[in-house]
Amino acid sequence: MYLEPEHTKSRITDFEFKELVVLPREIDLNEWLASNTTTFFHHINLQYSTISEFCTGETCQTMAVCNTQYYWYDERGKKVKCTAPQYVDFVMSSVQKLVTDEDVFPTKYGREFPSSFEALVKKICRHLFHVLGHIYWAHFKETLALELHGHLNTLYAHFILFTREFSLLDPKETAIMDDLTEVLCSSPTGGGSGDGASGGASGAQNHVKER
């Protein structure tokens, strides 16, 4: 349903996000990553909250996007099978803890970012991508009924273009949503590899992947 032209053309702005995501002159890269990552976290959390009452342990017994089922990994690296709302809660709680940690996301003058900062941002973006994918895959009908699909499309396009600009997401990770990405974020540089990955994903529709 989310790929139907009448829905994909819905946006809340026609602004060129490719220009918006570029690192401004004289702005530190880590500062730019921190600012945008925090903003995306809040917006995606807010977008999910609009359909959270429909995402329950009964309706979404696994954290699924298309043919892929995601598992949560705790601090000890233990694989945890959980429902979609539990997974999203784990994501939002862990990200909230990181973005409010002065040692990870410093806000005071003179504080430095940790050497592992980029890796942490990539991990955050990967989890936030899972949440966006689940909203599209399992709750687009409700989002449409609430007339919030324009907000969702705009948020998705902005997020994907930002992560592409700074190589924050592995193309293999996002291949599962390449069909939507191609429509919402079509660009001369992103089309070629996207098509190949999409073909691979569609060819495995009948096989459930676990991550």
Q: Who wins on pLDDT, 120 or 187?
A: 120
Backbone CA torsion sign across 177, 180, 186, 191:
positive
* Cα–Cα distances in angstroms (integers) from residue 119 to residues 23, 33, 39, in the given order: 18, 11, 18
- Is 7 annotated to bind a ligand? Reply is no
Does the pLDDT at position 166 exceed 70?
yes
Q: Return the pLDDT at 210.
A: 60
* CATH number given to 51-185: 1.20.140.30
**Model confidence at 171: pLDDT above 80:** yes
State the pTM of this model: 0.85
What percentage of the chain carries pLDDT values higher than 70? 85
In the prediction, which pLDDT does 90 show?
Answer: 96
Q: Please check if 82 is assigned to a binding site.
A: no
Which pLDDT score, from 0 to 100, does residue 109 have?
84
* Alpha carbon of residue 194 to chain centroid: 17
Model confidence band, residue 2 (pLDDT cutoffs 50, 70, 90): low
Residue 134 counted as an annotated binding residue: yes
What is the predicted pLDDT for the residue at 50? 95
Distance CA 163, CA 169 (A): 6
Which pLDDT band, with edges at 50, 70 and 90, does 200 fall under?
A: very low
Task: Output the average pLDDT for the chain.
Answer: 85
Question: How high is the pLDDT of residue 4?
Answer: 74
* % of the chain at pLDDT higher than 90: 64
72 DSSP β-pair partners? 80
CA trace torsion 61, 63, 65, 69 (10° rounding) = -100
Mean pLDDT of 153-179: 94
Per domain, the residue ranges of the chain are 51-185
